Chains A and B, each alone.
Chain A
């Protein structure tokens, strides 16, 4: 039982369909390559698919309640590639009760469930940044939902409280991407969104999204 390899993918289209099983890209899913300089970016609506790396747009802090970042991209170091199915129907792309914006392929078994976590940085130890709730995980701007087994029930799955506020590895603030340990190769799916609360003010943070799992 060797250590499983993990492959990250994003759906670059609006076909809300599962990825073809395996390690390869398909007509919908593109790879996020380790060491390839890929980052996940939530930004405003003027950012366009295929724009040059680093392209971002402003989003206004709301006077009350929360506002969803308009668009989601993978910045591959050369261009920004939109993930149109990400988020809820409160963004300005094709999000909603969408099941297949992000995919992980595991090529072997694990001895634990697979968890998705958010941290301040690559030390994977702290969640004190504003974007992750300033030490209160439930206040994290970053919200996620596991869609491995089913899509969200409601197009606004945050308002419908189907999500987890992502910060650290507490049981209420990470995603369990699988219901059990993986017995062999598998595809896991999730959806993500970032929502800016009233009074958020300015901030500069680059949180890290990370998987945690065990093997033998």
Chain B
């Protein structure tokens, strides 16, 4: 299927209805560097300057969405009406940002199934060095939690953008200052498009 099963990194794999497979850019690997797939190098900086690739996916129907974690676990979401993938960051006052979790989500009949994969522990250690207390978070890199919630409340009780439909198109509702380059010309978007 053309999937590189190098499982040291967190990334998504989108399986399109036409059989094509697109792999997201690995942005966080097990030793906490940031993998720049384009340059085939690891950058010792938690900031990802290249994005995950989710926004760059071809605008066509997704059949299923997989998420690979650093332990090699493969989560696959299938049979949903829409899919989403995103990365969560936290930035404290006076401290640089670090990644906490990655999310793969699917929506069906108004309910969102949220897979949250912990991604923070060693990155925070790298990032803050000796200034941070020893991590006490029971969620280690790659641990997975699942919840089902109402559409529009999937992330901290609020909605998210970037949903891609099983029938094609990326939803861009309720975005402030929408960027001018969002969709390929001629493509419909929105749920059910």
Contact = CB atoms under 8 A, between A and B. Distances in A.
B35 interface: no
Interface in A50-78: none
A159 interface: no
Contact of A216 (B86, B155, B158, B179): B86
Measured as residues with beta carbon below 8 angstroms from the partner, the interface class of chain A is: 35 or more
Interface string B76-118: 0000000011111111111111001001000000000000000
Tell me the dominant secondary structure on chain A's binding face. Answer: loop
B136 to A, nearest CB: 5
B158 A208 contact: no
B90 A2 contact: no
Contacts, number: 146
Contact of B51 (A3, A178, A212): A3
A184 B52 CA distance: 17
A214 B87 contact: yes
Given A3-B47, A181-B160, A216 B87 contact: yes
Given A111-B162, A112-B86, A214-B87, A181 B174 contact: yes
B94 A186 contact: no
Interface in B36-94: 47-52, 54-56, 84-94
B162 A216 contact: yes
A201 interface: no
B6 interface: no
Contacts of A112: 86, 88, 155-156, 158, 160-161
- 10 closest Cβ contacts across the A-B interface? A38-B94, A171-B157, A1-B55, A183-B177, A34-B96, A210-B92, A216-B54, A183-B178, A183-B175, A214-B86
Interface of A: 1-3, 5-6, 8, 32-40, 109, 111-113, 115, 121-125, 169, 171, 174, 176, 178-186, 208-216
7 contacts: A1-B56, A8-B94, A112-B86, A181-B176, A212-B90, A214-B88, A214-B155
